[in-house]
A and B are shown apart, each in its own frame.
Chain A
């Protein structure tokens, strides 16, 4: 039987990867198209506010292929990308891959740290709230989570920055530190900020999942058979945590995409901050590369999550993935 047989895992992965590629292709075309619909001119941006000579403008345009027809520019770019070359940043004249390599680690650290906070706070609180549904703990955390889900990271971040950075003076106010532990220390407040909203979402999800599982017939049956509460709760958790675990994978993707605002708020030199400034400058190659990279990370985490589902849930394994 071939790996691509109907209903097999190999075929499923292949189809998903192909869909991801199509998505990236469509996305890159849209971003490219947008840049061409807009009034700004990167060549003029680069040469500054002084009136540039026509020759200088021509030279810049020729260098970055800005003088070619739209479709030709797109295919030139696409051809280079397929060779691993994302072009050169128009603003800083540095290869895009170098720019990204300098910054991506910080963004990954930020997303990773706030992922850890989200999981370590959101999930246990959700379980505790569901065990004691209707209690003061449940109600207060539930109300807090409504605030948390809606609270914008930049506003929360600035408040935290004021309270812990300026007023109490515990955490550093700006920047990314000098690497290693110092960087981690600089990332604590940003990571908490980023985890705030998504942690609230994870809390809600966990609470709903555990509550739903507690209402199942097998729980009543287990109790009536005289199982200890601890044992029953073990059973409930095993079932309830499957949807939680899979949604956590998606959370990582969201965190990765959500770093822009937090990086700008805390002046961190990650790829989100780079994206924000590159958009202002209309630095096409950089915007393209970061958009595609983020979409790729999100698509790949989604795929990993589905495969994880397959690994942890015997029911899914039996039915096969759709």
Chain B
């Protein structure tokens, strides 16, 4: 009997919920940014506000639902963009090698020698160009690990018999790289991309927690957490709701990524 794959089911539920938040927050949480300064902070359990309200009288739950979009969309773009860079440059470095390989490896070494959070904070904070600039900065900072990963996988593929036969058939380098090697690297690349979404989510929310990347008033989990820090004694909902959402989303993505990775590893062994 086949075992029930519990991991993707358990991880899939919160991800589906967050996905629904991202797509339909306009309908689920229409009053997310509606302020009520006269009422101000209310504790959880207040009628109409299951998790209370923040300093500006905004409903914590609705604000968190609306904040999913800003917290999740950027990280997906970051992970996707940096994997595109990784696939392009990593394949070139791994298959063609030479000076390009050395230059790219040095570039990756340089960026990897630095703590990502710190550099992201300094760069994104100083440039201070809003959401999409921050996404761009993080994409560049995430790319070296992807370049390295793809490069390693390409080198492993390049010595396989099917590449040898492609060479014997005199296929062009470009065709070998992008029609034959890349499709075989893709599974592991997609897994890494998934895991990168979790890292980017944490990094992006960290920046908005510190006050960079997301404008004031925009619903966002990191921003909501930093606002909620001042309400510790008055409304625990203000930190618990966005905090749990960030932790659970990141954990669910990581679980899913780990599970996929193990499956691909098992398949690679079976081959």
Chain A interface (Cβ < 8 Å from any Cβ of B): 23, 26-27, 31, 34-35, 37-40, 143, 146-147, 149-152, 154-156, 158-159, 161-162, 165-167, 173, 253-254, 256-258, 260-261, 264-265, 275-276, 279-280, 282, 287, 291, 294-295, 298-299, 302
Contact = CB atoms under 8 A, between A and B. Distances in A.
A18 to B, nearest CB: 14
A276 B250 contact: no
Interface in B228-245: 228-229, 232-233, 236, 239-240, 242-243
Contacts of A299: 113
B253 interface: yes
Given A26-B110, A38-B127, A159-B239, A154 B122 contact: no
Contacts of B127: 34, 37-38
Contacts of B128: 38-40
Nearest to A299: B113
B166 interface: no
B251 A146 contact: yes
B229 A152 contact: no
Nearest to B204: A152
Interface of A is mostly: helix
Interface string B76-88: 0000000000000
A98 B234 CA distance: 38
Contacts of A257: 114-115, 117-118
Given A159-B243, A279-B125, 11 more contacts: A146-B251, A146-B254, A147-B247, A152-B247, A154-B222, A154-B225, A155-B243, A258-B115, A260-B117, A291-B119, A295-B114
Contacts of A38: 126-128
B198 interface: yes
9 contacts: A31-B126, A34-B123, A38-B128, A152-B202, A152-B206, A159-B243, A161-B232, A261-B209, A302-B113
Contacts, number: 126
A149 B255 CA distance: 11
B211 interface: yes
5 nearest A-B residue pairs (beta carbon) = A257-B115, A279-B125, A150-B250, A155-B243, A150-B254
B248 to A, nearest CB: 9
A162 B247 contact: no
B247 A154 contact: no
Contacts of A256: 115
Contacts of B246: 152, 155
Contacts of B115: 253-254, 256-258, 294, 298
B258 interface: yes
Nearest to A297: B115
Interface string B106-136: 0000100111011101110111100000000
A158 B209 CA distance: 12
Nearest to B249: A150
A295 B119 CA distance: 10
A51 to B, nearest CB: 22
Given A35-B126, A161-B232, A146 B258 contact: yes
B173 to A, nearest CB: 30
B126 A282 contact: yes
A279 B121 contact: yes
A147 to B, nearest CB: 4
B122 A150 contact: no
Contacts of B210: 260-261, 264, 276
A253 to B, nearest CB: 8
B247 A295 contact: no
Nearest to B239: A158
B233 A166 contact: yes
B205 interface: yes
A150 B254 CA distance: 7
Contact of B126 (A23, A34, A166, A295): A34
A154 B209 contact: yes
Interface string B191-234: 00000001100100110011110000000001001101100110
B123 A151 contact: no
A150 B126 contact: no
Contact of A149 (B119, B226, B254): B254
Given A158-B243, A279-B126, A265 B229 contact: yes
B120 to A, nearest CB: 10
Contacts of A167: 236
A150 B246 CA distance: 9
A165 B239 CA distance: 14
Contacts of A159: 239-240, 243
Contact of A166 (B119, B202, B232, B254): B232
